Structure 1
Amino acid sequence: MKEIDLTSGSIFKKLIKFSLPMIVGNFLQQIYNLADTLIVGKYIGANALASVGSVYTLMTFITSIIIGLCMGSGAFFSLDYGAKNHKRLKEDIVLSFIFILSVSAIISIVIYPCMGIILSILQTPSTLMALTKEYVTVIFSGIIFIFLYNFFAYLLRSIGKPYVPLVFLGISSVLNIILDIWFVVSLNKGVFGAGFATVISQGVAGIGLLIYSIIKVPIVRIQKEKVDLSFKRFREIVINDLATSVQQSVMNFGILMIQGLVNSFGEVIMASFAAAVKIDTLAYMPSQEFGNAYSLFISQNYGAKKSDRIKNGTKISFIVSAIFCLVVSAIIFIFAESLMGIFVESFEKEIIIEGAKYLRIEGAMYVGIGILFLWYGYFRGVNKPLISLILTIISLGTRVVLSYALAPTTPLGVIAIWLSIPIGWILADVVGYFYYRKNKL
């Protein structure tokens, strides 16, 4: 597949062409959990749905650590590629692979002994503890596959090959649906079967992309010439990757804290939140991936020292993202109940009503998070990941503080949690604009 060079040609066309496979790829990645949620909710019941939904936020947090590290390295890869520095690119690939593989292995070793404590902190109800542990036991065995897929996906995207990860993810997503139906519906394996189907599918995507990269991407292969592995460069990669990873994981840690507060409101709110979050994630996912594509656009042109192209690309990206988010907000607001009905049986009226409330309150302000994803991408692309971290802390900190201050003690109740989310987005957007003006190229 032909590489896409983001440093020349029509900015709008290149951004759309580059972001589309990333958007479709993220959509397929969401299918892993969507398939679990849909099949578990329809064939096992509301308790199983609540259990899987609760673990989803935990798994997202753990996964975000690895994805953040890979994303940080991807920015380095893209800078090297834009600067045509292939020797440095080879060195960065090797050093990043060693570092992120080590972190993934440590997470895999540590997570299981701490699982009981983590589920208790999340206020998992005792009636759901057995189901939740059963699901989480198998789902976390796929961490190494998550590393492999994301590392090589970000590498291939950084060198202009966004379609390859999409192909492997498409195959594994279809496989996941087939295995979900087989294990849960045909073999009656419950939540364990749903988790096992996901891990097998993740393995196909991760190992498949590893094999493809070794065969088709010469710079990945181990060759006879010596690769300089300097400690100074390793330190730079670690600092950059950790900053990006902390930004991603802080974002999801805040969501994890919200999950604990949501759990305290009972099983109906848990189930409605589990289903609504899936819809929510799919709704603003295209703007998130557009922000990631924009980040790679920024980093390639930053490496190539094309500041005018960066300025023009920034203007175009903000207009495109804002229009998209406004359209999606309107759709979510109008069809909230119908969308909830995809994941919840029609007789579960209370769950549908509560989920629709969440979607209408938060979904009305998707433009806030669409802009925030672009700020994340911009500062990551110009090698200032700490600013992205600051924006995340502002956004999530606002959400957590307002939720815990208002939800348990005021008549707003759980509505306070839903309102705090867009408030956090808007505050972070304002600060992001301030930093942009201050650090403008």
Structure 2
Amino acid sequence: MTKDMTEGNVLGLILRFALPLLVGNLLQQTYNMIDAAIVGRFLGTQALAGVGATSSVQFLVLGFCTGLCSGFGVPVARDFGANQFGRMRKDIFHGALLTAVIAFILTTGCVLLCPWILKMLSVTEDIYGNARIYILIIFLGLPFTLLYNFLSSILRAVGDSRTPFLFLAFSACLNVVLDLICIIVFKWGCAGAAFATITAQAISGLCCLIFIIKKVQILHPKRKDCHLQPVYVKEMLVMGLPMGLQFSITAIGSMVMQSANNGLGSIYVSGFTAGMRIKQFAMCPFDALANGVSVFCSQNLGAGKIKRIRKGLWQGVGVGFIYGLLIGLVLIFAGRSLSMLFISADQTAVLDASAKYLRCLGFFYWSLGPLSVFRMSAQGMGFSGRAIFSGVTEMIARTFVSFAFVGTYGFTAICFADQTAWVSATLYITPVCLMCLRQVTREHERQQAKIAD
């Protein structure tokens, strides 16, 4: 159900909103590991390699979908906070229309370019067949991915993060069941794993749609709202495209870094892979907290409550910074033990590599709190175009370290590529977000002066 975040305890509202997002992110990470285990256990290492060979391009395309739909939710949250429900319904209509158009363009383009994408990823011939059928089906399911992400975005925009989480949880469990059925019973191989994924995604999207139709009347565009207006199209694209591109640009930097690491040998590839899984788990609270602060900022911007925006922003940064310090200590002192969740104790060289990677990350995890919250808050205040350059900064930093230092310093350079990206992006986004806050403050003061006159 809807939740007004313009009244009440600031930090309590943000944390209650962020909690379902956090659990959902952790659940998604858990599912990804189970999915890989099912494919590897029942189809073999070649099938697992085929599925994993396209993971970077999946991250790029699906990240674009997630960012795009998150951007479409920003005007919805702003107008909901301002009690401008007519404008909000127009936002939803135009967002839905653009999502459908982009789904068609993106799906068609990815399907047609599939052979070129596999060639660009240097997929070897022995796993080409598995990789092609898997990624092709994932691409065909992009409309379902966009459906769920758009509907969950507008639900979160009106303060409901619980319902999308419940449907995500159901989808993840269903995905595991369908994996087992399609792979073991129907023996569809990698195609079965992909079919299970898009089927579960489609069902979660349809569940969101049915819930909105039956339970959330305020989100139903009326006939008078369903007229194409260029000003709304422009606003939605100005918010959505930069956020989608930011996810994709960040993914490009990660792809370059992973490619550089792949040239160092199997020990470092395995150590890096295990460390990455732990890193992704540890980053989930940053994403959830930043999304909570972003929606909070959007709603309060609409309500004209600038002081609450400032308070929520700094409290969010503080929570993120403290969590970053604490989880950093865990990675520094317990990274090797955590790596043993994925690596057997007798593989000491791989364990050493994973522990080194996590230990180096741990010293800089504090930077992710300000980076995540400031970036998402700038977007929530309507400055997606400025926020995108933090992603560009990350990409440039990772690419620079990968090309300039891996050849000389090897895996040690890989261990500091992420931190270089985080600190560089934080140094950019911190003053930018504060300037955005000052700008909305001045705009609010001008509006108040006009009202007084």
- TM-score w.r.t. the length of structure 1 is 0.91
Range with greater deviation from structure 2 (156-165 or 138-147) = 138-147
- 2:28 is aligned with 1:22: no
Alpha-carbon shift at residue 102 of structure 1 (Å) = 1.1
Letter in 1 for 2:249: V
String of CA shifts for 1:319-352, please: whole Å, max 9, x gaps. 1111112222222333334433434556665544
Contact 1:125-1:263 at 8 Å conserved across structures: no
Query: Counterpart of 2:448?
Result: none
Q: Distance in 2 between matches of 1:49 and 1:270?
A: 15
The unaligned stretches of length 5 or more in structure 1 are: none
5+ residue gaps, structure 2, are 442-453
Match of 2:128 in 1: 129
| Residue of structure 2 equivalent to 1:436 | 433
Higher mean Cα deviation, 363-372 or 121-130?
A: 121-130
Q: Which amino acid aligns with 2:192?
A: G
CA distance in 2, matches of 1:71, 1:57: 21
User: Residue in 1 aligned with 2:299?
Assistant: 300
- Tell me by how many angstroms 1:7 deviates: 0.7
- Matching of residue 417 in structure 1 with residue 414 in structure 2: yes
1:355 aligns with 2:371: no
Note if contact 2:107-2:139 (Cα within 8 Å) is conserved in structure 1: yes
SS at match of 2:63: helix
Q: How far 1:403 sits from its partner (Å)?
A: 0.9
Shift, 1:19, TM fit: 0.7
CA distance in 1, matches of 2:397, 2:203: 39
- Report the counterpart of residue 177 of structure 1 in structure 2: 176
How big is each residue's C-alpha offset from its partner over 1:14-51, in whole Å with a ceiling of 9 and x where there is no partner? 11111111111222233442222233345555554444
Query: How has the CA–CA distance of structure 1 residues 294 and 209 changed in structure 2, closer, same or farther, with 3 Å as cutoff?
Result: same
Equivalent position of 2:445 in the other structure: none
- AA of the residue aligned to 2:421: G
Matched, 1:77 2:94: no
In the other structure, the counterpart of 1:253 is: 252
Select between 195-204 and 182-191 the one with higher mean Cα deviation.
182-191
Q: Which shifted more, 165-174 or 245-254?
A: 245-254
- 2:101 corresponds in structure 1 to 102
Task: Tell me the residue number matched to 2:444.
Answer: none
Structure 2 matches for 1:24-423, cutoff 5 A? 24-184=23-183, 189-221=188-220, 223-344=222-343, 350-407=349-406, 409-410=407-408, 412-423=409-420
In structure 2, relative to structure 1, the CA distance for the partners of 1:265 and 1:53 (3 Å cut) is farther
Of 332-341 and 246-255, deviating more is 332-341
Checking the alignment, whether the CA contact within 8 Å between 1:68 and 1:244 is kept in structure 2 is yes
Following TM superposition, by how much is the alpha carbon of 1:57 offset from its aligned partner in structure 2, in angstroms? 2.2
Shift of the 222–307 alpha-carbon distance from structure 1 to 2, 3 Å rule, reads closer
Question: Post-superposition shift, 1:9?
Answer: 0.6
- Of 231-240 and 262-271, more deviation after overlay is shown by 262-271
**3-state secondary structure, aligned to 1:6:** coil
1:156 shift after superposition: 0.4
Question: Is the 2:238–2:385 contact (alpha carbons within 8 Å) kept by the matching residues of 1?
Answer: no
Inter-CA distance 349–140: structure 2 relative to 1 (3 Å threshold)? farther
The 1:319–1:436 alpha-carbon spacing in structure 2 relative to 1, beyond 3 Å, is same
Could you tell me whether the CA contact under 8 Å between 1:295 and 1:380 is conserved in 2?
yes
Distance in 1, Cα, partners of 2:233 & 2:8 = 34
SS at match of 1:251: helix
The CA distance in 1 between the partners of 2:127 and 2:215, in whole Å, is 46
In the alignment, the residues of structure 2 paired with residue 315 and residue 136 of structure 1 have an alpha-carbon distance, to the nearest angstrom, of 41
Distance change (3 Å), C-alpha of 1:124 and 1:338: farther
Q: Retained in 2: the 8 A contact 1:262–1:414? A: yes
Distance across 2 between alignment mates of 1:195 and 1:350: 34
1:203 CA drift (Å):
1.6
Q: Relative to structure 2, which stretch is displaced further, 55-64 or 137-146?
A: 137-146
SS of aligned partner of 2:141: helix
Amino acid at match of 1:95: H
Q: Distance in 2 between matches of 1:198 and 1:324?
A: 32
Measure, in 1, the Cα distance between the counterparts of 2:336 and 2:187: 29
Per-residue deviation at 1:138?
2.7
Measured in 1, the distance between the counterparts of 2:57 and 2:392 equals 18
Q: Deviations over 1:264-310 (max 9, x none)?
A: 44555444444432322121111111101100101111111111111
| 1:187 to 1:271, Cα distance in 2 relative to 1, 3 A | farther
Matched residue type, 2:158: I
Indicate conservation of the 8 Å contact 1:148/1:206, yes or no. yes
The alpha carbon displacement at 1:125 in A equals 4.2
**Does the CA contact (< 8 Å) of 1:146 and 1:202 recur in 2?**
yes
**How high is the sequence identity, in percent, across the aligned residues?**
29
Q: Is the 8 A contact 2:253 2:394 kept in 1?
A: no
Distance 1:434 1:190 in 2: 50
Among 427, 435, 438, the residue aligned to 2:424: 427
Query: Alpha-carbon deviation of 1:158?
Result: 0.6
Q: CA offsets, 1:373-411, max 9 Å, x none? A: 11111110111111211111112211111112221x21x
CA RMSD of aligned residues (A): 2.4
Distance of 1:348 and 1:248 partners within structure 2: 34
Equivalent residue letter for 2:258 = Q
* Deviation sequence 1:180-200 (CA, Å, 0-9, x none): 334445665543333232222
